[in-house]
Amino acid sequence: MRIRGALAVALSLGLVLTGCSDAGGGGGNATITFWDNNGGPGRTPIYEELIKRFEAANPTIKVEYVGVPSASVQQKYDTAIAGGSTPDVGGVTTSYLANMIGQDALEPLDERVDSGPLKGKLLPNLVETVRQTAPDNKLYSLPSSGNLDVIWYRKDWFEQAGLTPPTTWDELVDRATKLTDVGRNRYGYTIRGGAGSVFQLLTEAYAYSGVEKFFDGTTSTVKDPANAELIGKVAALYKKATPEADVNNNYTQMVAQFTGGSVAMMHHNLGSYSDVTKALGTDEVGAITLPVGPSGRKTVVPNPTDGFAVFKNSKNPDAAWKFAEFLVSRESNSYWNEKVGQIPANTDVRSEAWIEKNQPVKMALGVLEDKATRIVPAPVYLPEYSSITKTDSEPAYQKVLLGQLSPQEFLTGLADKLTTAQQEWEERK
């Protein structure tokens, strides 16, 4: 009886496992797999709509969508490349593109772009940031969206206090101090002191100093005294005009503070658009570009550029390219960027009506298209860049905030490591 019971358990188990088995593949002449590098409720439905449109226009191609959580996408790509199971086309950003190029996983797209409808239609600044990630200066990702660091601010608080949004860093310090009311749990500014702090800090430092190159030859310009001056100004705000917990802030905590109504200004990027407008409404929130320093020059360290890469392992590279090209076409690129609130890479989209209505995107496009703007791309192509700016430097910046390390010492240490990495990179090239 008991033996029969055990057999029944084994049989049920078999049924469970049978239920687990794979379903068959899909139809269509070519099936391509597309990995979204930032899958989630905000983006997945937009891609699903675009895929539907693509399949309607190209009935012989079927697209299988896979949403990969952004926090693990690099590991997922690395594992897939090492195991030889890459998708046909995937969403990538320039922050890890160099690593993928280094593993010889991607197809260069220059010829395909030059021989198709996208020739001359891509925002040059974005194309340049993508090219800079490759040692051979080729285009391994078709840029789709740009992003820009901005200061999100509470319009209503500024109006109540009779203040105008800052245009210089000194004004920002002034506004942050005036808008702080600790008794009401209101702070003028929030500092990103935890994960991701240093990249954001460098964008602030270069915006202030106006230094136009990240490297002078192979020597990093990070330790420029003007950069240190800005870091000193920001660190001086800590605890006076910012919450004390900021020393551990990552972006989610900053956004939570801002949307929770305890902070007047927050430095993040356009990616926060949906979060801040959803929580506070478009009337109460505004965005300005990072203020300038005494030089008055507008220098921008660009955010990673989003795009689509075609993988070398693809059995249907033409279909994969066709899909990537479709996603960056005027109509799709407009649809996508309007929904996510980012800068469209396709220059034809500039004339769309929604851009006029979206103040943050219009402002960001204006900055990128302004001939006076100097773009200072961070060396994300350096394999050590992530470890230098995160593992090594983030704890050091926390020491700066806590007054245990001077801004100049901090920047000198960071610059030396970047210089060494750049020199090694040049040698390898």
Residues that bind other proteins (CB under 8 A): 2-3, 6, 9-10, 12-13, 16-17, 19-23, 33, 35, 37-45, 64-72, 75-76, 79-80, 82-85, 87, 93, 147, 251-252, 255-256, 259-261, 268-272, 274-275, 278-280
**Assigned token pair, 179:** 């808008």
Q: Cβ of residue 34: shortest distance to other proteins, in angstroms? A: 11
List CB contacts of 135: < 8 A, sequence separation 6 or more: 101, 381, 428, 429
Q: Cβ of residue 236: shortest distance to other proteins, in angstroms? A: 28
DSSP, collapsed to helix, strand or coil, labels residue 199 as helix
Q: Cβ of residue 73: shortest distance to other proteins, in angstroms? A: 9
Nearer to other proteins, 27 or 41 (CB): 41
* 138 burial type by CB count under 10 A (0-12 exposed, 13-18 middle, 19+ buried): middle
Positive or negative, the CA dihedral 176, 177, 179, 185 is positive
Angle, vertex CA 116, rays to CA 350 and CA 43, nearest 5: 50
CA dihedral 109, 76, 54, 129 (to 10 degrees): -40
Q: Cβ of residue 310: shortest distance to other proteins, in angstroms? A: 17
Nearer to other proteins, 45 or 403 (CB): 45
Q: Cβ of residue 317: shortest distance to other proteins, in angstroms? A: 18
Count of beta carbons in the 10 Å neighbourhood of residue 404? 9
Q: Cβ of residue 271: shortest distance to other proteins, in angstroms? A: 2
Nearer to other proteins, 12 or 137 (CB): 12
- Rg, Å, the chain Cα set: 24
Please report where in the chains the tokens 């693509």 appear, as a residue. Answer: 54
Task: Give the separation between CA 408 and CA 428, rounded to whole angstroms.
Answer: 30
Closest CA to 139 of 345, 296, 344, 295: 345
Nearer to other proteins, 19 or 162 (CB): 19
Nearer to other proteins, 33 or 209 (CB): 33
List 307's β-bridge partners, or say none: 92, 143
Task: Give the separation between CA 186 and CA 207, rounded to whole angstroms.
Answer: 26
Nearer to other proteins, 145 or 422 (CB): 145
Q: Cβ of residue 18: shortest distance to other proteins, in angstroms? A: 9
Residue type at 63 in one-letter notation: V
On whether the CB atoms of residues 133 and 98 are closer than 8 A, the answer is: yes
Count of beta carbons in the 10 Å neighbourhood of residue 370? 12
Residue type at 366 in one-letter notation: G
Nearer to other proteins, 270 or 401 (CB): 270
Q: Cβ of residue 426: shortest distance to other proteins, in angstroms? A: 30
Nearer to other proteins, 37 or 221 (CB): 37
